[in-house]
Amino acid sequence: MAIKTKKIVWTSSSSAEKTEKIINYLMKNGKKSVAKKIYADMLKEIKANGHMNPQVVVETAIDNASPTVMIKSKRLWWSVYQVPVEVKQNKRLFYSMKWILDATRSKKGKPMYKRLAEEILAAYSNQWAAVKKKEETHRMAEANKAFAYMAKYVN
């Protein structure tokens, strides 16, 4: 039996990799073509709102919504401590896209690409749900910074 292998094309551009990652986060039930269409329509919608380079808008919005510290629970004996931990780069992209998509999917009444474009533009200007979620996470980490010394014990 012959094993088929795919040729992997590596690009030096990280934006192409981020684009594929975003499309994969958008995808539901394995329908990648639908996710690609939503992403392309979203870029057109952002361009129609007056932004010349929509890809830069998307990357900036993701950076604005991505957390730098998170809270993890650490149990020592009978007490549970909320320990602030720094977030790695790949997890930052995951959390920011998760929050943006959660806020987008909670709205109803418009096509997905329009809701997503609205949320991206709001995150671009540091507003709405995804950025509020990030600020809330940072506030919790700031409140629990007394337990930061336990970060080395958290997985």
Question: What digits encode the pLDDT tens for the residues 110-147?
Answer: 999 999 999 999 999 998 888 899 999 989 988 888 88
Q: What is the mean pLDDT of the chain?
A: 86
> Tokens 């990030």 correspond to what residue?
134
Is the pLDDT reported for residue 7 higher than 90?
Answer: no
Q: CB of 120 within 8 A of CB of 49?
A: no
> What is the arithmetic mean of pLDDT over 61-72?
92
Answer CATH for 14-153 from 2.40.10.10, 1.10.10.60, 1.10.8.620, 1.10.455.10: 1.10.455.10
Give me the amino acid identity at 1: M
Q: How confident is the model at residue 155 (pLDDT cuts 50, 70, 90)?
A: low
pLDDT value of position 6:
40
Is the pLDDT reported for residue 63 higher than 60?
Answer: yes
What span, in angstroms and rounded, lies between the C-alpha atoms of 100 and 97? 5
Q: How confident is the model at residue 11 (pLDDT cuts 50, 70, 90)?
A: very low
> What is the arithmetic mean of pLDDT over 49-72?
92
Is the pLDDT reported for residue 53 higher than 80?
Answer: yes
Percent of the chain with pLDDT over 70: 89
pLDDT value of position 150:
74
pLDDT value of position 13:
57
Nearest-5° angle of CA 43, CA 46, CA 48? 110
Domain ranges of the chain: 14-153
Percent of the chain with pLDDT over 90: 61
Is the pLDDT reported for residue 149 higher than 90?
Answer: no
